[in-house]
Amino acid sequence: MTFLRRQLRERDLRELLLTSELIEAERGREIGLVNRVVPVSELENAAQKIAASILQGAPGAISNSKRLMAELWPTPVKQDIERALRHHLEARESDEAKEGIAAFNEKRPPNWAG
C-alpha cells in the first residue's frame, strides 16, 4: 500500500485494496498502475528501449531528479513503510487474522461474526 498510494488516485487505490480483485494489464494501465502494456514477446525490447532512453541523460541530472522527486512527497518512503509495518503487525495479532488463517487451513469460509 505504501507504494500504491504514491501511484494511484485514492478511489482506485480503495477499489483495489477493498475488493481484492485481480485486474487485467490494460486496467492497470488505465488507472496508472503501469505505464504501458506490451505483448510478452516484446517485453524485453520495450524495457531495453526505456533504459537506453534514460541512459542518454546526464548521470548527475538523473540522480538529482530522482532525489528531488523523493523529497517532494509529503512523507518519506521509509516513514511510510514503518507505519505500514506497525499496522501489519497489529493486524496479524487480531482475532480476525486468527480466524482467517484457521478458515484457510480448514478450507472453510471465515466466520467474521465470531
pTM: 0.65
- Per-residue pLDDT tens for 21-39? 999 999 999 999 999 999 9
15-22 LR contacts (CB < 8 Å, sep 24+)? none
H-state helical runs in 8-106: 10-19, 25-30, 43-55, 59-72, 77-92, 95-105
- Per-residue pLDDT tens for 39-91? 999 999 999 999 999 999 999 999 999 999 888 888 888 999 999 999 999 99
User: In this model, does residue 114 exceed pLDDT 70?
Assistant: no
**Residue 104: its pLDDT value, please?**
94
Surface-to-core class of residue 42, CB atoms within 10 Å of its CB (0-12 exposed, 13-18 middle, 19+ buried): exposed
Query: How far is C-alpha 80 from the geometric centre of its chain's CA atoms?
Result: 13
**Residue 2: its pLDDT value, please?**
86
**Residue 70: its pLDDT value, please?**
84
**Residue 44: its pLDDT value, please?**
97
| Number of other residues whose CB lies within 10 A of the CB of residue 16 | 19
- Per-residue pLDDT tens for 97-107? 999 999 999 99
Vertex 32, ends 38 and 63: CA angle to 5°?
90
